[in-house]
Amino acid sequence: MTCNQTLQKVESMEHEMIEREIHIDAAPEVVFEVVSSPRHVREWWPDEAEFPVEPGGTGRIGFGDTSQDNNWAQFTVVDVAPPRLFSFRWTHQAGELAAPGNSLLVVFELEPAGRGTLLRMTETGFRERGWDAVEIAHEYAEHVAGWDYFLPRLLAYAAKVGADA
Amino acid sequence: MVDDDLWSAVGDPTRRRMLDLLLSDGGATATSLSEHLPVTRQAVAKHLVVLDRVGLVHSTIAGRERQFRVDQAQLARAVDQLADVGAAWDARLQRIKRIAETIERTRDQSAQN
């Protein structure tokens, strides 16, 4: 990486936020289920997900060998407003109440768009949470970064969805 | 290292301008940096303390002043990790899209049958 490219990336840190938008050819109700229900969250992010889908609901998500305590991250639901909004905090310490300053906040906003859904996602709190939160998020990101991990699961999942229908 | 400090260190526009100058010149002193910035030498010296504390710059004694250089490995590490977290979300959102669209298609087919 050249110095200039490095500095451009530093500039982007000023926003201290990850912000993404994606169009999905599925109804908001379907997308809401996929982003919020633990049985679906397990298919796109952690290996295990245990949390009640209700405001303030506390739980955890697990990565890799979930018999190890340190492979679990704390997870607290913030807002649930189907099919428009789902948000949660994660990376806080076990036993701590999730709040600004001890966790990262992920917000999913859903908006009908044609016959599908515009899904907006933001993750904030890096600056307030500090560097170790990025380390944690990075560590968990590595578990699921590649298609090598995802494709076999997707095929299995798609077959299962088909079988259930 | 206090972790919050790394974010504060690169979050400040003056300090980013200083990193820019240090990278392009290969190194500088508080005095030479202050000549390119709209702040006093004392202010630059304070900013350098912040950057030094989080390991983004290192200094050596050069005559009567300290010569500062950017620790490129630490800078690259800082920016790469944020970029990686973003890339991980890109991958997750692609999965969300595929799962939701698979369910939607299955639903449509069920409705037609």
Per the domain annotation, does A164 fall within a domain? no
Identify the CATH number of the domain in which residue A126 sits: 3.30.530.20
Within 10 A of B74 (CB to CB), how many other CB atoms are there?
Answer: 16
pLDDT of residue B108: 82
Question: Domain check: are B85 and B63 in the same one?
Answer: no
pLDDT tens digit sequence for B37-75: 999 999 999 999 989 988 889 999 988 889 999 887 777
ipTM for the assembly: 0.74
pLDDT of residue A74: 94
How far apart CA B85 and CA A86 sit, in angstroms, is 20
Residue A40 neighbours by CB under 8 Å, 6+ apart? A33, A34, B99
Question: Domain check: are B11 and B59 in the same one?
Answer: yes
Question: Domain check: are B60 and B92 in the same one?
Answer: no
What are the chain A neighbours of B12 within 8 Å (beta carbons)? Answer: none
Question: Domain check: are B12 and B39 in the same one?
Answer: yes
What are the chain B neighbours of A141 within 8 Å (beta carbons)? Answer: 84-85, 87-88
Overall domain count for chain A? 1
Question: Domain check: are B66 and B76 in the same one?
Answer: no
Contact status, residue A140 vs residue A104, Cβ threshold 8 Å: no
pLDDT of residue A69: 81
Residue B99 neighbours by CB under 8 Å, 6+ apart? A34, A40, A43, A44, A154, A157
What are the chain B neighbours of A20 within 8 Å (beta carbons)? Answer: 86, 89-90, 93
Residue of A nearest to B104 (CA): A26
Q: Domain range for residue B105?
A: 72-113
Taking each helix axis from N to C end, the angle separating B72-112 and A131-143, rounded to the nearest 10 degrees, works out to 50
pLDDT of residue B15: 84
Per the domain annotation, does A63 fall within a domain? yes
Per the domain annotation, does A45 fall within a domain? yes
Smallest CA–CA separation between A117 and chain B, in Å?
A: 10
Of B3, B84, B92, the CB nearest to A130: B3
pLDDT of residue A91: 87
By the 10 Å C-beta count (0-12 exposed, 13-18 middle, 19+ buried), A54 is classed as exposed
Smallest CA–CA separation between B44 and chain A, in Å?
A: 19
Question: Domain check: are B24 and B58 in the same one?
Answer: yes
pLDDT tens digit sequence for B11-40: 677 887 888 888 888 889 999 999 999 999
Question: Domain check: are B17 and B48 in the same one?
Answer: yes
Question: Domain check: are B111 and B92 in the same one?
Answer: yes
Per the domain annotation, does A158 fall within a domain? no
pLDDT of residue A149: 44
Q: Which residue has the tokens 């500095």?
A: A7
Identify the CATH number of the domain in which residue B45 sits: 1.10.10.10
Question: Domain check: are B12 and B46 in the same one?
Answer: yes
pLDDT of residue A147: 38
pTM of the model: 0.65
List the pLDDT tens digit at each of the 165 positions of chain A: 445 555 454 444 444 678 889 999 999 999 999 999 999 999 888 889 999 999 999 999 988 778 888 788 999 999 999 999 999 999 898 899 999 888 889 999 999 999 899 999 998 887 666 656 666 666 566 554 443 444 444 445 444 555 444
Question: Domain check: are B13 and B54 in the same one?
Answer: yes
Question: Domain check: are B77 and B64 in the same one?
Answer: no
pLDDT of residue B71: 87
Question: Of A118, A159, A156, A106, whose CA–CA distance to A31 is shortest?
Answer: A118
Q: Domain range for residue A135?
A: 17-146
Overall domain count for chain B? 2
Q: Which residue has the tokens 């809401």?
A: A32
